[in-house]
Amino acid sequence: MQNNFFDDSLDKKSIKQRIRGLSKAKVGFYSIGLYPASLAYNSAMQKTEKSLLLAPRPGRDLLGAFSEDEVKGMDPRHVVKMRRMACHKNGNESVSNTLEYLIIKCDLVILSANSKYIEQDLAQACSIRKRLNRNNVVLGCLAGSFSHDEKTNNSYVLCEKNPNLAFFSGFHRHGALRDPMDSFTANFCHPNALTALIGAHMLNKLSPNLQVSPGIHNVEAQYIKAAKNMASIFAGFGYEHHRQHPGVLPTLLTLLLNQCLDQAATVSMSRQDRHQLYSQQTIALTELGYAVPRIEATLNKGGFTERVRDHTFSQLTAMVADVRGSMMLPVSGKPTRNFQAGQILASGMREHGRCPVSVEEFEQWCENGGLNKGALEGLKALRYWPQIEEKYSIQNHDASMVNLLYKGLYGSEEEKDFAFQVMTESRQLSNYCQESVRHTHSRKYAEALNNLEQLDALELISNAVIANNAKKALQDDISIEEREVQPDAPAYLQVMDFIEQGA
């Protein structure tokens, strides 16, 4: 997929002319939704709306993502400006903007649909762009979920399937975007540093309250967004159910954040364009705000090292802030919709004394609580979690919290019973948080210390004490690793065993 601002010309005069044109170019949002509409309102409020054009999806109202109370609280003058951004004159008639109109008039078009529509919108945008010979219009997306191919039954991150697709997102409170004094941050990511730099500059002009930083990690940013949407469900659950147990919350929230980044670090290693991502950039990554060109973790494997993780993307401050902010209960206003879904999950589990019988029951709880299930990207992402975990070889100890949430919603009746016990009992949850982040094999020593009456456990510990035999103990003493979890073991160990066995 060709997706940059410049053609292959080496003519400096035409390139300079193109650069000047981009400095005055417009940005378009297609499909709209809560975030783009809030951003448009902020742009109207700050009198910078001339840089932005909007095109709602056919049949969709420009302000349809807002509640009636939120619309009533808006300044009518700003709403008029927003509606002006979404239409144009055709002769004497005012007509609504379309995706085609945005591609004609804009040089950067953000497809703001969720996972339900984003792939068909991208295909349509590419087709229109080609037909109009507007190949240097850059396309980006906002979708924070996993895509799924029904024909092949395969799940993936859309930016990996389309590696040159831009990704734009960041932390925002919708109320903050309608506050004339509040500010917010975002990242515009594209694997070409020059495209990322120019795109971020264009988006920065939408409002003086908006600070957009460029980044090259579009795949990782989209993955973090999808993982964050799942994690914020668990965060909302934790705040609601364990508000009387403040000791467990910091541990829970820390793990949710860290595991989002750890999973993305693993996903980063599978990128097909990793070499050019770092080695073939015209602009050094330090010029984009990265402290270093690359942060990689290596693993020693019998005398040689293997690269296992790339953490450079963690310097995408707005994306990390998005994860943190989405797992916090705000001082004023409402938390994110996924967080609210977690609160509803906690209330429903407390009321019924169990996990939801099915995802459909949970969706009904959300509908009864005033949440449209179609807006819950975290729940959509969770549906495809097993395929994502397998596709990107994500380890259990890097995804233990999502695994627990998945068992509570999609597990068998027995798994849900244990997941309920772990999620709702503070001591079980804190034990799970502590133990589930250990590598599977590393727990053998902790288990051995708790079972010294068993000869193999005592043998393992004694061998470890003797330095000369420690290496042999690690390689040969595997019997304790293979011991089955006993039926009377604590619930958190039962859940971990289900997850590790892939049940």
Please count the CA atoms within 13 angstroms of the CA of 360 that sit on its side-chain side: 0
Give the three-state DSSP class for 94.
strand
- Cβ-in-10-Å burial (0-12, 13-18, 19+) of 24 comes to exposed
Q: What angle do CA 406, 409, 411 make, to 5 degrees?
A: 75
Give the per-residue pLDDT at 178.
75
Select from 405, 420, 439 the last residue of a domain: 439
Tell whether 476 is covered by a domain.
no
- Establish if 315 belongs to a structural domain: yes
Residues 211 and 241 in one domain: no
Report yes or no on 409 lying in a domain: yes
447 found inside a domain: no
What value does the mean pLDDT take over residues 436-452?
A: 66
Range name among 95-104, 382-391, 435-444 with the lowest pLDDT average: 435-444
Q: What is the pLDDT of residue 473?
A: 43
In a domain, 479, yes or no: no
In this predicted structure, the answer to whether residue 366 has a pLDDT above a threshold of 50 is: yes
Q: Is the pLDDT of residue 385 over 60?
A: yes
Has residue 80 got a pLDDT over 70? yes
User: Taking 60 as the threshold, does the pLDDT of residue 370 lie above it?
Assistant: yes
Please tell me whether residues 181 and 322 are part of one structural domain: no
Between CA 140 and CA 109 the distance in angstroms is 6
For residues 346 and 322, membership in a common domain is answered with yes
Are both 308 and 432 inside the same structural domain? yes
Residue at 469 is within a domain:
no
In the chain, % of residues over pLDDT 70: 90
Rounded mean pLDDT, 218-230: 96
Quote the CA–CA distance of 396 and 42 in Å, as a whole number. Answer: 42
Pairing of strands 138-141, 166-169: parallel
Residue 308 identity: V
Looking at the chain, how many residues does it have? Answer: 503
How much is the average pLDDT of 26-50? 92
For residues 184 and 146, which has the higher predicted lDDT (pLDDT)?
146
**Residue 59 belongs to domain spanning:** 12-216
- The H-or-E segment that residue 121 falls in is helix 118-131
Mean pLDDT of 364-385: 92
Distances (CA, A) of 339 to 48, 308, 345, 379: 32, 31, 10, 11
For residues 290 and 210, membership in a common domain is answered with no
Which whole number is the average pLDDT over 271-296? 90
Query: What are the CA-CA distances from residue 37 to residues 4, 31, 78, 84, 283 (Å)?
Result: 25, 10, 11, 13, 33
Of 423, 439, 455, which residue is a domain's last?
A: 439
| Model pLDDT for residues 447-499, shown as the tens digit of each residue | 666 677 776 767 766 776 774 444 544 455 544 455 566 777 888 788 888 88
Let me know if residue 496 belongs to a domain.
no
- From 28, 11, 10, select the one nearest 139 (Cα to Cα): 28
Band (pLDDT 50/70/90 cuts) for residue 360 is: very high
pLDDT tens string 157-194: 999 999 999 999 986 665 667 777 888 889 999 999 99
Do 313 and 202 lie in one domain? The reply is no
Same domain, 232 and 201: no
Q: pTM of this prediction?
A: 0.88
The CATH number linked to 104 is 3.40.50.720
Q: Is residue 455 part of a domain?
A: no
Question: Same structural domain for residues 302 and 375?
Answer: yes
Which of 216, 246, 275 is where one domain is finished? 216
- pLDDT average, residue stretch 248-260: 94
Claim to verify: residue 212 and residue 248 sit in the same structural domain: no
Q: Are residues 208 and 81 in the same domain?
A: yes
* Backbone phi and psi for residue 342, each to the nearest 5 degrees, phi listed first: -65, -40
Average pLDDT for 287-308: 82
What is the residue-averaged pLDDT of the chain? 89
Q: Are residues 146 and 272 in the same domain?
A: no
pLDDT at 101 over 80: yes
pLDDT score of 230 more than 90? yes
pLDDT-based confidence at residue 232 (cuts at 50, 70, 90): very high
Query: In terms of domains, do 212 and 257 share one?
Result: no
* Of the listed ranges 135-144, 321-330, 465-474, the one predicted with least confidence: 465-474
Q: Is the pLDDT of residue 302 over 70?
A: no
Indicate the range of 84-98, 314-328, 448-462 predicted with least confidence. 448-462
- Say how many domains are in the chain: 2
Helix (H) or strand (E) holding 126: helix 118-131
pLDDT tens-place string over residues 454-466: 767 677 667 767 7
